[in-house]
Structure 1
Amino acid sequence: MKSRFSRLCLVLLGALTLIGVVSPSAAQAAERPGGKESYAVSIGQVAPEGTPPTGKEFARLAMYYFDLDGTVREAFWFWSWSIGYPAATIAPTSAGCDNCKIHTAGGFQNGAEVKELRGRYTTTGDQLAITWSNGATESWTVTRPETGISVIALTASNYGANVGKGYGSNVRTTVSVPVNDIPKKRYPGEFRYNAWDAVNEKMTSDWGTSGINLQQFQKCNDNCLSGAVEITDPNSKACSACKPGEQRAVRYYLASDGGRKNYYEHFCTCLLQGTNKCYTGGSHLKPQLQVIDDAQRFRGWVGIEAQQRVANRGTLGVHWYTDV
C-alpha cells in the first residue's frame, strides 16, 4: 500500500510539472525595491555626533543585487575602526599634471578581496526588509525621486549599522563612466565619520554637508583628473594643520582603472616637504562607487573614507555625493 501511494505521488508531481503548476510561494515574484535591480550602497556604524567611537564602528561599500525570486546578494568591501589599513598605491598616476602616484584605502585596490553576503528581501509599500544568511537584518525606506533612479535609506539594523544610503537602477553593473566623461560640476552630499582629533588628542565623531566640485579639475590623462583648490573661506576647518601664513590649498585626485570603482584622494599642499610635489603623508583616501541611472547617466558617488593607517586613528566614515 505504501509503495502504491508513493508511485501515485510521483505521478501527480510529474503531471503538475508538465502542465506548469508550481507552489504558490514560487509563483509569486518579489517586488524589487523601487523597481530597481541593483544599488550602489555605502553603509556603516558611526558614533553619535560629538561622542567618542567605541571601537565597534565600521564602514562598508557595496553593490546590492535584488532578484525577482526574493533573494538578494551583496558584494562589498569592509573597513573596521579597530583595524589599521595602510594606503595602497593604484596603477593610474597623475602623469600630465604633477606626475604623482595615487593611493586608495588598503583593501580597495585592484585585485583586493571582494566579500559577499546572500539573503532574502521583502518590500511592503516604501519599506524594504533584508535578512542576510548570517542572521543580520536591515530595514530601509525606499523613495523614487525621479524617473530612472531610486534611493534606499537605512532606518534600522540588528548588528550596529546606523547610517546608510544607496542609489539603484536597472542598468547593467558593468556599465560605468570614464573619469574624463564625468560632467565637471559640483555634486552635493553629506558625510558621517569617526575620527582621531590629533590637535586635542581625543577620538570624536561628526557629520555634515559637503560635496565634490569638479569645476576646477583638469584632465591629467585618460585615467585621472586633478585640481589644486585654494581655501578662501576663513571659517573653513579644512587644512587646519597649516601654519600661520602658509597658503591653505587642497590637491585632489580622481582616478579610475575601469569599472564603477573610483579612487578619490586629497591632501593639504602646505604639508608637502621641500620642493616635492608628491605627498607621502596621511592623505584622505576615499574609495567610491559610481551612481548610474537607467539612462546610463553619471549621477555621482557613494563612498567611504578609510584614512586610518593605524587602528582607531585617522578617519573612518561614509558619504554620498550625487545630483539626485
Structure 2
Amino acid sequence: MTAEGFRGAPNEVRTGGYLLRSGSGSDADRDVVSISWGGGIAPEEWYVVPGEGLVRLEFKGGGGATKGYGYGSDAPLDRGRPMSSVHDHPETPQLKLDTIGWTHDKAGPSPTGKVFHHRKFSPCTETTRCMTLTAKSSGKACRADGGCPRYGTGGTATGRTDSTIQNYLARVGPQDRRDTFWHWCTCLAMEHKQLCHRGNSHVKPMLQILDDAGAFRGWVGVEASFYPGTESEHGPRWHDMLGVFRMAD
C-alpha cells in the first residue's frame, strides 16, 4: 500500500539547472543551492549543511512550496539498502522525526523531540522486503468516535475492543531507494471483517537517505492520504492527511 504511481517507473520528466553560491548578508556563513525547473515556477533555494559523508539541505524557499527536506551524497540513486540493514541501523544517534502535516484544513509541525523506533519492528514472515509492528495508539486514534464504533476504544463490543495500530515498512524498488510506510488502526479492519484495512489509511512513500559509503541514514518522505469518501460539512479536503517529513539520524 503506497501512493498511486510510486511503484512504477517515473512518468514525469523535468529538466532544469542549479547554481551553488556563497551566501550573503545574513546568510554569509552558509552556501545556498538554487534550482530552476523553468515553466514559470520560481526557483527553489536550499541551504547546504555539510555533514560526515552526507550533506543536509535546509529549505530556504521558492518553487511554490513552504517546506521541504533534502539530503545529498555520492551514493547513486539506483542503490538502496535492504530491510535487514534498516533494522540493524544503530539506535544511537536515533532517527528523529520532523514533519509538517496538513489535516482538518490546517498545516502545522509535529511535536518536537519525536523519535522513530525502527528497531522495534520485526521482519515479515512472508518476505524479507518488509517489517511490521503492532503498537499502542495515542491521542484520539482508534476510537469509537473515529471510525471504530464497535471495536475501537470506547466501542460497543465489550471485551473485544482494540486500540492498536498496524505498521508496515516495505521496500518498493529492490534496486533503488524507494520504501513505503503504511499504518492503520487494527479496529478498522475488525469493523469490516478484514485481515488488513482496505479503506482509508496512512500511506507514506519514502526515499532512503544514504551517505557517501552507501550506509542507511534514514528517510525523507511525504504523506499522501486522500480521503476516498464524500465531502463533509467542512469541505472536500477536511479528512485528507498530507505532509512532508524526514526520519533521520
| Superposition TM-score, scaled by structure 2 size | 0.76
Distance change (3 Å), C-alpha of 1:239 and 1:115? farther
Aligned to 2:61: 156
TM-score (norm 1): 0.60
110 and 180 in structure 1: CA distance in 2 versus 1, 3 angstrom threshold: farther
Contact 2:123 2:131 in 1 (8 A): yes
Equivalences for 1:168-317 in 2 at 5 Å?
A: 168-184=72-88, 185=91, 187-196=95-104, 203-209=105-111, 210-220=114-124, 221-231=127-137, 236-240=139-143, 241=146, 242-244=152-154, 246-256=161-171, 257-258=173-174, 259-273=176-190, 275-310=193-228, 312=237, 313-317=239-243
1:176 Cα shift? 1.0
Please give the secondary structure, in 2, of the residue aligned with 1:117: coil
Secondary structure at the aligned position of 1:215 is classed as helix
Note the alpha carbon deviations across 1:37-65, whole angstroms, 9 max, x for none: xxxxxxxxxxxxxxxxxxxxxxxxxxxxx
**Counterpart residue type for residue 204 of structure 1:** K
Q: What secondary structure sits across from 2:179 in the alignment?
A: strand
Structure 2 distance, partners of 1:187, 1:238, is: 23
Kindly indicate whether the alpha-carbon contact (under 8 Å) linking 2:47 and 2:57 is maintained by their aligned counterparts in 1.
yes
Q: Residue 18 of structure 2 contacts residue 33 of structure 2 at CA under 8 Å; is this kept in 1?
A: no
Contact 2:69–2:244 (CA under 8 A) maintained in structure 1: no
- Contact persistence 1:180–1:225 (CA under 8 A): no
Report the alpha carbon displacement of residue 250 of structure 1 after superposing the two structures with TM. Answer: 0.9
From the CA coordinates, give the structure whose radius of gyration is larger.
1
Structure 2 counterpart SS, 1:182: helix
- The one of 238, 245, 248 equivalent to 1:319 is 245
Q: Is the 8 A contact 1:218 1:227 kept in 2?
A: yes
Contact 2:206/2:222 (CA < 8 Å) preserved in 1? Answer: yes
**8 Å Cα contact 2:142/2:153 also seen in 1:** no
In structure 2, runs of 5+ residues without a counterpart are: 24-30, 147-151, 156-160, 229-235
Higher strand share: 1
Q: How many residues align?
A: 210
The percent identity for this pair of structures is 30
Q: Which amino acid aligns with 1:122?
A: L
